[in-house]
Structure 1
Amino acid sequence: MTPEQTGHAVRRELCNRILVVTVDNPPVNALGANVRRQLRDAIQAAEKDPDVDAVLLVGAGRNFIGGADIREFGKPPLPPSLPEVCNTIEACRKPVVAAIHGAALGGGLEVALAAHFRIALGAARLGLPEVTLGLLPGAGGTQRAPRLVGAKAALDLMLSGRHVGAKEAHALGLVDLVGETDDVLAEGLAYVQALLDAQAPVRRTRDADGLADRAASRAAIEAARAESSKKSHGLFSPLKIVDAVQAALELPFDDGLRHERQLFLQCLDSPQRAGLIHAFLAEREVLKAPETRNAKPRKIASVGVVGGGTMGAGIAVAVLDAGLPVTMIERDDVSLARGLAHIEKVYDNLIAKGRMTPEAKAAVLARWNGSTSYDALGTADLVIEAVFEEMTVKHAVFAKLDRVCKPGAVLATNTSYLDIDAIAASVSRPGDVVGLHFFSPANIMKLLEVVVPAQVSADVVATAFDLAKKLRKVPVRAGVCDGFIGNRVLAIYRAAADHMMEDGASPYQIDRAVRAFGFPMGPFQVADLAGGDIGWATRKRRAATRDPQQRYVQIADRICERGWFGQKTGRGYYVYADGARTGKPDPEVESIIDAERERAGVTPRAFSDEEIMRRYMAAMINEGANVVHQRIALRPLDVDVTFLYGYGFPRHRGGPMQYADTVGLDKVLADIREFAQQDPVFWQPSPLIVDLVERGATLASLNHAA
């Protein structure tokens, strides 16, 4: 092979009359403007060069093309556009073959679809996941994919955003061949040579007949439209994707491309696109904590879990699923057996759903060990305490861990609220103590708050982030305070909901309004799911230090006093008949609310859903800003990620801090000051919001200040 031309982001080399065009734009070969221009130029040069018989497109490194450069979204477009590049590839009169290894996602797959033939290696991942960013495939993907694989399969790929492997891609018709080795260049060259030897004609995807059965295509489109209308929860792009595929069926190809572009630009201009891309980028940015920049994580080869309740068992499952051995400690054999039963129930449910075999379960549980003696933790590299949320209990556990754990073992607490500085100060090795606040169910929820006490060693924080990666969690660094980031903010917006309930809005109206905003559940449904006794215990713990001037709504206490703790007792704010997971409004709860309003001297008034959300979000945003102002969260995006992954905040809105910028901080501040006229103790504007409004700045401007 002899180099013909070397580009900065796209290399060209001639091999036996085959021009190998290699996209080399680390880390994922994203389709930035430079790549697009050089890719177009390479195809045009091949077209004119009499020494070139065919073109082979490959990616350098571990991927074919990972997708568009999303940093360009929302900025003035730089030529050439990706549709222009794809059309240039497809129009080439010489065969163009895409050899795919690693990721061919979004625009990367659209480039491959524009090629005339496709080969994929075994580990390839193909997909059109633009919907997860509030977009649609805008470089011909909505027009070429249905023509290649049919409307139903194309819609499934685009509406789910899922990735498919090489074998499934071949079965669908996305690729023509699956390579037999992992050498993408050798496989690609061999395939191109075979096509040349067979004198295979250029075969353009625009001419494929996947939509030939018009009745089946139309039925698939209508089914997808009905399903998207039901499940998209107000999302903008799914129905635009359906519209684009309908255009593929009804319009000539070039007209369909123009319609796709119009729909793509509508999505690009949508606030949902900005919110979803902010969420995408923020999830990656939270990994950059100060302690992780220079410190090396400690080795974690074995993990101990103290406590076999719901949370402890969930943590154990998460660790087992990561392939690590777990030693669980409980106070007696009965509790230990109950903890193991909790773990087995998770895997038995997977077996019942056909997602796991009994043999696989047995292999996982072979890594589990249980004991009633703390001495069994002597060799553990990291121990996570998940016992009752009471400081004296935590201190007792940590005293034992301090005694039995080896030097250098990381000692973590899963406390939701308690002072981790105080826990760390109770042992002889405070530098080894860190908070790992999991969210229930711990084996499913992606958020992991890494709580950083004052004396912790940087390598312990780095170890916590490394563990999060192993557990497939999204870690957010948090400082020490009552509730850290998430639960501290939750306490405030939940109080705002309680105030509205006492002032006249029913809990059921508030829950409906919050769901309509995009949350999967309202605050009172969440309370029933979590268990009312948890919050009740916290309120009783805080009672002695509560500001007597601060409004305190007692409705939740009255409900808990009746033993109604939510789903687990069959009653809470809702009634759960016969073990139902979805509750129904309870007239007795409404009677309790009426009685409490009378006791508190409140004359109830009507609330609109719009006012409910203004108050709910103003409380969330204001306390989120306080958390950033006090450096409990490093940046506004840390608050956003906490709420996206731990509290069900609607992803298309980007998180509460991103939403505040979208609405306008000046409007949020005006709301807070309006509400303060009725309750100046609760509604105190965050100094950070006041400062930013005075300077005309946004919360987003602080996201790179840490």
Structure 2
Amino acid sequence: MSHSKVTMEVGNDGVAVITISNPPVNALAIPIIDGLKEKFAEATGRNDVKAIVLTGKGGRFSGGFDINVFTKVHGTGDVSVMPDVSVDLVTNAVEGSLLVCTSQALTGLLCYGSFKGTQRLPRLVGLSKAIEVMLSSKPIMSEEGKKLGLIDALVPSKELLKVSREWALDMAEGRKPWLRSLHRTDKIGSLSEAREVLRMARLQAKKTAPNLPQHQVCLDVIEEGIVHGGYSGVLKEAKVFKEIVLSDTSRGLVHVFLAQRATSKVPNVTDVGLKPRQVKKVAIIGGGLMGSGIATALIVNNIFVVLKEVNSEYLLKGIKTVEANVRGLANRGKMTKDKAEKALSMLKGVLDYSEFKDVDMVIEAVVENVALKQKIFSEIEKACPPHCILATNTSTIDLNLIGEKMNSQDRLIGAHFFSPAHLMPLLEIVRTQKTSPQIILDLMTVGKVIKKVPVVVGNCTGFAVNRTFFPYTQGSHLLVSLGVDAYRIDRVICNFGFPLGPFQLQDLAGYGVAFAVGQEYAKAFSDRIFKSPLLELLAKDGRNGKNNGKGYYIYEKGSKPKPDPSVLSIIEESRRLTNIMPGGKPISVTDREVLEMILFPVVNEACRVLDEGVVVRASDLDVASVLGMSFPSYRGGIVFWADMVGANHVYRSLKKWSEMYGSFYKPSKFLEERAMKGIPLSAPATSSASTKSRL
């Protein structure tokens, strides 16, 4: 069979150059692997071929394995569709190998276990470094790869093929040594040393990734190869991979990966022939935590920023925050110091609108006050050119309220960043019924330029992400009012996979934000909120979380947060005021029930968001929950996880709790209908539902 995406040319020097051509990243799809087998077999069967060079078209070798293959496995449960490459592409065809790269190359361990990465990498770079790379999935820069021994030579891109041919021929004709990485042991150390390294790695993996079985499996496979030899490790690698690829963890991670790709497709925006306009200069109004973070994200990606504040004191504080953000990135190795200085040169502070006359976009990032925002948008509409995008970073307020006094409401859009804005990867793009498709496309493009994942959502209080998760905080407060220990709740949520529990998260955000946002939700969703006096009591006690070092936890410099025993009396006072404990006694619940009583109301609100057409597709909400709210990615996102749990179980649990504890837990009609009919929550909306879309 001929495989047009894998070609071979044999030169007069006797070197066969096999080239992968599978744009855009030369992914190793099944047809590519079959083509490689065919070409390797052909090359080894020819008398005029002395050596083989494997490369990729367009200056890129391969960007990894085609993830779509996993969806076929997950859909059918049949692992036989995976290509079998547990032995070399052609048995005994490749007796030795060299890796030649350009200085811009990135190398990493392919997640696909059957390519022998678990056996070769430790033998090339040493056991400790190999484990670090495999468990973190971080790529190795070319210079580091050369020092470690992973890469044999670094050459300019123009000379890559020429040098590769020369080295391959030198190795074939004995002028360079044959390198058989699968049989090397010189970088492994003694067996006792290797086992100690693996023991420590297992303890670390258990601590940092307790819910990720692939980490422990990876270490088991590495140990198999060290104890019984590389070939034995290869066989075990192939066997366990076919087992773990069917796990819920695999399903969740693959779903999030593909769902993230899908966010770039927005009906009537990306499919109507529009071309994005270039955004070169952005004005930001407000230099607080969010404004300075957004400014940082823009300037480090070569977009000029004008930062406006109301007085010199606030402006200087905002500029210093941006400087600290940029230098922090440089100190952590995320950018060079030269690039950091260049980025800071693209920031200008102002106290009026004089610099707004030629900006391509304005992002308002002031406090959550409707009247103030209305005033600002009325002013900037006059100060900015007619093509300018007028964006607000509000996290909660209905955009129609903000734009009420504007004339050009087609330019109004939400650009909701998540804190810290220069680090968090999600950009929630909020459109109204009047927002121009061109404006939406332009902001999506800006999001990609500054390395965010843009998710387009409809307009409502809280939009998609914060609205879906408002029951998260309220559910945790309800449980505390029912007598459940707050610190236990944090532990349960962290054990599930969130980086922080709800109470530590409140401490981190500060209570002022929670008060402001809570008022908006109380107005919009009065039929299903739970109002707790706890935050108000904490504030009266002089607490504001991490901002002043006192909240549910005590925050001391250089130490981890510690539970504050003195909070317990405040919690007891809150319980007395709410007075909802049955018979005045704390309820008895398992850890699983604690988790479900907090997350099932979130699923319930997600159902309402889906029913109202606030998101394009259910998977957009999964991506947003992972990237914006730190929902564990290996669980696939909030809707995917709910489907794994089962809509019927979610519905029946909420119905039971609503009868016991009130309307906060009342199941939505969407959830009830899906549960009764056995339809997944993620299934596309019916035609009747789509007529009320907010998109």
* TM norm structure 1: 0.90
Instruction: Indicate the residue corresponding to 2:316 in structure 1.
Output: 337
Please, which of 41, 46, 54 is the counterpart of residue 44 of structure 1? 41
C-alpha displacement of 1:129? 5.1
**Partner secondary structure for residue 665 of structure 2:** coil
Instruction: Indicate the residue corresponding to 1:653 in structure 2.
Output: 635
Please, which of 600, 604, 618 is the counterpart of residue 622 of structure 1? 604
Instruction: Indicate the residue corresponding to 2:3 in structure 1.
Output: 7
Paired with 2:495 and 2:288, the residues of 1 have a C-alpha distance of 34
Instruction: Indicate the residue corresponding to 1:103 in structure 2.
Output: none
Q: For structure 1, which segment, 397-406 or 674-683, has the greater mean C-alpha deviation from structure 2 after superposition?
A: 674-683
**1:548/1:517 CA distance change after superposition, 3 Å:** closer
C-alpha displacement of 1:378? 1.1
Is the 8 Å Cα contact of residues 565 and 572 (structure 1) preserved in structure 2?
yes
Is the 8 Å Cα contact of residues 397 and 520 (structure 2) preserved in structure 1?
no
Instruction: Indicate the residue corresponding to 1:591 in structure 2.
Output: 569
Is the 8 Å Cα contact of residues 461 and 521 (structure 2) preserved in structure 1?
no
Question: Does residue 122 of the first structure (1) align with residue 100 of the second (2)?
Answer: no
**1:580/1:49 CA distance change after superposition, 3 Å:** closer
Is the 8 Å Cα contact of residues 181 and 187 (structure 1) preserved in structure 2?
no
- The letter of the residue matching 1:81 is P
Paired with 1:139 and 1:474, the residues of 2 have a C-alpha distance of 30
Paired with 1:88 and 1:26, the residues of 2 have a C-alpha distance of 22
Please, which of 176, 181, 185 is the counterpart of residue 205 of structure 1? 181
Is the 8 Å Cα contact of residues 396 and 520 (structure 2) preserved in structure 1?
no
- The letter of the residue matching 2:152 is D
Question: Does residue 178 of the first structure (1) align with residue 154 of the second (2)?
Answer: yes
Residue deviations 1:293-326, cap 9 Å, x none?
3322222011100011111111111111111111
Pairs within 5 Å for 1:128-527: 128=109, 130=111, 137-198=113-174, 203-211=179-187, 213-214=189-190, 215-290=192-267, 291-294=269-272, 295-350=274-329, 360-527=339-506
Q: For structure 1, which segment, 302-311 or 348-357, has the greater mean C-alpha deviation from structure 2 after superposition?
A: 348-357
C-alpha displacement of 1:360? 4.8
Is the 8 Å Cα contact of residues 374 and 403 (structure 2) preserved in structure 1?
no
- The letter of the residue matching 1:92 is A
- The letter of the residue matching 1:658 is F
* TM norm structure 2: 0.91
Please, which of 679, 683, 687 is the counterpart of residue 697 of structure 1? 679
C-alpha displacement of 1:249? 0.9
C-alpha displacement of 1:656? 1.0
**1:184/1:320 CA distance change after superposition, 3 Å:** same
Pairs within 5 Å for 1:25-104: 25-73=22-70, 74=73, 75=76, 76-78=78-80, 81-84=83-86, 87-89=88-90, 91-92=92-93
Paired with 2:502 and 2:528, the residues of 1 have a C-alpha distance of 24
Paired with 1:437 and 1:704, the residues of 2 have a C-alpha distance of 29
Indicate the RMSD between aligned Cα atoms, in angstroms. Answer: 2.5
Question: Does residue 674 of the first structure (1) align with residue 656 of the second (2)?
Answer: yes
Paired with 2:529 and 2:314, the residues of 1 have a C-alpha distance of 41
C-alpha displacement of 1:216? 4.1
Q: Which runs of 5+ in 1 are unaligned?
A: 96-114, 131-135
Residue deviations 1:365-395, cap 9 Å, x none?
2211111111221111111000110000001
Paired with 2:214 and 2:365, the residues of 1 have a C-alpha distance of 41
Paired with 1:36 and 1:502, the residues of 2 have a C-alpha distance of 58
Paired with 1:366 and 1:25, the residues of 2 have a C-alpha distance of 40
- The letter of the residue matching 1:164 is I
**Partner secondary structure for residue 182 of structure 1:** helix
C-alpha displacement of 1:466? 0.7
Paired with 1:267 and 1:587, the residues of 2 have a C-alpha distance of 43
Is the 8 Å Cα contact of residues 36 and 82 (structure 1) preserved in structure 2?
no
Is the 8 Å Cα contact of residues 429 and 440 (structure 2) preserved in structure 1?
yes
**Partner secondary structure for residue 547 of structure 2:** helix
- The letter of the residue matching 2:578 is A
Instruction: Indicate the residue corresponding to 1:112 in structure 2.
Output: none
Is the 8 Å Cα contact of residues 636 and 703 (structure 1) preserved in structure 2?
no
- The letter of the residue matching 1:191 is W
**1:420/1:43 CA distance change after superposition, 3 Å:** same
Paired with 1:541 and 1:633, the residues of 2 have a C-alpha distance of 21
- The letter of the residue matching 2:155 is G
Percent identity of paired positions between Structure 1 and Structure 2 = 30
Paired with 2:109 and 2:521, the residues of 1 have a C-alpha distance of 50
Is the 8 Å Cα contact of residues 28 and 62 (structure 1) preserved in structure 2?
no
Paired with 2:101 and 2:482, the residues of 1 have a C-alpha distance of 62
**1:534/1:124 CA distance change after superposition, 3 Å:** same
Paired with 2:639 and 2:528, the residues of 1 have a C-alpha distance of 28
Question: Does residue 613 of the first structure (1) align with residue 595 of the second (2)?
Answer: yes
Paired with 2:338 and 2:160, the residues of 1 have a C-alpha distance of 35
